[in-house]
Amino acid sequence: MSTYGPSYLFWMGPTPMYIVSDPRLIQELLTVPNAINKSRLVFGVIQQLLGSAILTLDNPVWSKHRRVLNAAFGHNILLSFMTIFNDESSSLVQELDAFVGKGENELLSRFQNFSFRTAIQTTMGSEVKKENMIQNDTLVNKYKSLFAAGVVLFLKPWINFNIFRPWSKTLKIVDDSRSTIQSFLKKIIVAKLERDYNNNTTKTQNITFVDVAIEQFRNRLFNYTNVVEESNTIVFGAFETTALTMVYTLMNLAMFPEYQEKVFEEIKSVFPNTGDFEVAYEDLQKLEYLGMVINESMRLMPTFPMTARKISHDFKLSNGIVLPKGLEIGISIIHTHRSKDVWGPDAHKYNPDNFLPSNLQDKHPYAFLPFLKGKRTCIGAKYSLMVIKLTLAKILRNFKFSTSYRFEDLFVVDYVTLKFKEMPGLQLERRV
């Protein structure tokens, strides 16, 4: 982009792809029906891992699924998850306490396990917490293996060629992980199907994502495979991205202690005492600076640095470029988030003040896309922000984070989600 500017065409092997980071062009692409379908080049791998669900489905099937599944993320249902959010975040605080005074440590795996436990309960029901595969981390490890294998398939697509398939260890990992995960989900779904749900099931406050999916199965909009694959996709999508956002936020605050102290003072004003405390939804609304801190971390370190679409019909952009039917489109979220033309000369620096209302009023509405926007915005955006904000409030009230690693030494490597060549270790000390 430093050579060709915010939009250009390049080739991935035999496939042309038009890359865009200009917020004006992104808005056009994310709001027109011509570009509503996901790229097969990119999301074909995800479909291979998870099956056909709202993350990968094409229109018009996608819009039908999305319309009915929106109910699983309604405000009252999200509020009903607050008990799970509080219980699991309290458990995470206890786990992190063991790292106090132990120097700099890698914490991502702890956060991945936490966000997985939270995601599986809010997707499949709190009773799954008692299952052996949850308690011994077998299932979360299968998801991690599946994700790692997916990265290999994305970077080495020839593995799927018939000539290589019989000898591919990666595909064996995919088959084994998918089989284990789907067997577990099917067990839970069958148990729920055998219960006598009344017609008002989806109107209660104790329902989960799978309950909504099962209701559509009963209404014959979904088949059994749809229920399994939609549930699988929601769990998969929730735990990795949530964990990364929390760890990257703590990492940034450790490298910039002046912002950590400011957010600590805000949290302390709402929660005067350390230890275990309950966070209510109303409390989250008071933590405005914490919200700015989280947004700034997602700006510089979006968990998905890029997304991709496919043009279904010829379409002319406002810059005069005609995008032909079948063309792959890459939307570079990370370049948009770090554009000096959009965010100013210090766009590459961490500064939560970027999200002061006075600094946002002149920004293009599509300059900040952590959950995308337009017709296929992330279905779980509100859910994720609630988990992240609540959990970080508890953690930052109890611990101070530091690191010897420098922000300018971070080096991004090829991956599906945003990853660094070396993850900074974090040191913890207790707050009073």
Return the beta strands (E) in 256-358 as ranges. Answer: 306-310, 315-316, 322-323, 328-332
Its pTM stands at 0.94
Cα 198 from chain centroid?
A: 33
At residue 381, does pLDDT exceed 50? Answer: yes
Q: What is the mean pLDDT of residues 161-189?
A: 91
**Residue 332 three-state SS:** strand
pLDDT of residue 197: 54
| Cis preceding linkage at 257, omega within 30 | no
User: Quick one: three-class SS letters along 142-194?
Assistant: HHHHHHHHHHHHHHCHHHHCCCCHHHCHHHHHHHHHHHHHHHHHHHHHHHHHC
Task: Give the angle subtended at the CA of 191 by the CAs of 190 and 195, to the nearest 5°.
Answer: 110
Length in residues, the chain: 432
| 97-141 tens-digit pLDDT | 999 999 999 999 999 999 999 999 999 998 898 999 999 999 999
Q: Which residues contact 52 (CB under 8 A, 6 or more apart)?
A: 226, 229
Q: Which residues contact 248 (CB under 8 A, 6 or more apart)?
A: 297, 301, 418
**Mean per-residue pLDDT of the chain:** 93
How far is the CA of 336 from the CAs of 1, 38, 264, 282, 421, in angstroms?
A: 11, 19, 29, 32, 22
Q: How many CB atoms lie within 10 A of CB 9?
A: 12
pLDDT of residue 228: 95
Nearest to 286 by CA among 302, 301, 272: 272
For residues 175 and 169, give the distance between their C-alpha atoms in angstroms, rounded to a whole number: 10
Both structure tokens of 317? 């952009």
| 216-226 tens-digit pLDDT | 999 999 999 99
Residue 416: which pLDDT band, with cuts at 50, 70 and 90?
Answer: confident
Q: Which of 150-154, 204-208, 219-223, 310-314 has the lowest mean pLDDT?
A: 204-208
Rounded (10°) angle between helices 224-255 and 288-300: 100
pLDDT of residue 260: 98
Cα torsion angle, 59, 65, 70, 72, sign:
negative
Q: What is the mean pLDDT of residues 16-22?
A: 95
For residues 170 and 173, give the distance between their C-alpha atoms in angstroms, rounded to a whole number: 5
- Higher per-residue pLDDT: 169 or 160: 169
Percent with pLDDT over 70 in the chain: 97
pLDDT of residue 196: 54
Going by their DSSP bridges, the two strands 15-20 and 328-332 should be labelled as parallel
CB 212 within 8 A of CB 202: yes
pLDDT of residue 212: 94
Going by their DSSP bridges, the two strands 306-310 and 315-316 should be labelled as unpaired
At residue 200, does pLDDT exceed 60? Answer: no
How far is the CA of 306 from the CAs of 26, 45, 413, in angstroms?
A: 12, 15, 13
What residue ranges define each of the domains in the chain, with the CATH number in brackets? 7-430 (1.10.630.10)
- Higher per-residue pLDDT: 178 or 200: 178
CB 99 within 8 A of CB 105: yes
At residue 229, does pLDDT exceed 90? Answer: yes
| 319-348 tens-digit pLDDT | 999 999 999 999 999 999 999 999 999 999
| 386-401 tens-digit pLDDT | 999 999 999 999 999 9
DSSP assignment of 372-399 equals --GGG--TTHHHHHHHHHHHHHHHHHHE
- Higher per-residue pLDDT: 265 or 164: 265
CB neighbour class for 391 (10 Å; exposed up to 12, middle 13-18, buried from 19): buried
At residue 276, does pLDDT exceed 70? Answer: yes
Going by their DSSP bridges, the two strands 315-316 and 328-332 should be labelled as unpaired
Nearest to 127 by CA among 224, 210, 53, 236: 210
